[in-house]
């Protein structure tokens, strides 16, 4: 998993005021290709909303991005964003595999015990009361 942080400058001052954010996103994609040499990349939603938060006519001219290459794809995040931290945390491998497996097994058995206790309690509480059938036939 390769990481790289880049500060990207985007010249949006000379562009049409109605299309600055659109142009900034397009230019960002060009810069990502230039710095990371990858056509297959995904821009984070937080990064997209960063460009659009001031509206379509006031796009930021500089942005710091972090690119993370995972397998065959490049993921581009706003530097220091929550999505980046969550992505990085999800890709970390546990150091001690045996300890991780033991804790997982303990959690699973504890969950099973709780479920069986809950089922037993609900069975006790939900006894069905069936009314007795009476003959409503009149004596003739």
Q: Is residue 66 part of a domain?
A: yes
Per residue in 3-53, pLDDT (tens digit) is 888 888 888 877 787 888 888 899 999 999 999 888 888 999 999 999 899
Euclidean distance between CA atoms 3 and 91, whole angstroms: 12
CA-based nearest residue to 26, from 12, 38, 37, 13: 12
Per residue in 74-88, pLDDT (tens digit) is 999 998 888 888 888
Per residue in 102-122, pLDDT (tens digit) is 566 666 666 666 566 656 666
Residue 86 near residue 72, CB atoms below 8 Å: no
Q: Is residue 110 part of a domain?
A: no
Residue 30 belongs to domain spanning: 2-91
Helices (H), the chain: 20-36, 45-52, 82-91, 97-125
Structural domain count, the chain: 1
Residue 115 near residue 127, CB atoms below 8 Å: no
Q: Is residue 98 part of a domain?
A: no
Burial class for 128, CB neighbours closer than 10 Å (0-12, 13-18, 19+): exposed
Q: Is residue 119 part of a domain?
A: no
Q: Is residue 29 part of a domain?
A: yes
Phi, psi of 106 (to 5 degrees): -65, -40
Q: Is residue 30 part of a domain?
A: yes
Domain CATH for 14:
3.10.440.10
Euclidean distance between CA atoms 36 and 100, whole angstroms: 35
Q: Is residue 74 part of a domain?
A: yes
Q: Is residue 17 part of a domain?
A: yes
């Amino acid at each position: 998993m390769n990481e790289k942080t880049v500060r990207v400058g985007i010249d949006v001052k000379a562009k049409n005021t109605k299309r600055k954010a659109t142009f900034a996103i397009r230019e960002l994609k060009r810069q990502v290709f230039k710095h990371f040499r990858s056509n297959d990349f995904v821009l984070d939603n937080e990064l997209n909303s960063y460009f659009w938060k001031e509206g379509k006519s006031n796009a930021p001219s500089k942005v710091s991005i972090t690119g993370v290459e995972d397998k065959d794809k490049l993921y581009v995040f706003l530097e220091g964003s929550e999505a980046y931290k969550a992505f990085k945390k999800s890709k970390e491998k546990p150091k001690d595999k045996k300890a991780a497996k033991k804790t997982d097994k303990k959690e699973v058995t504890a969950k099973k015990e709780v479920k069986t206790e809950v089922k037993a309690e609900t069975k006790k509480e939900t006894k069905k009361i069936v009314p007795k059938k009476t003959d409503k036939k009149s004596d003739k």
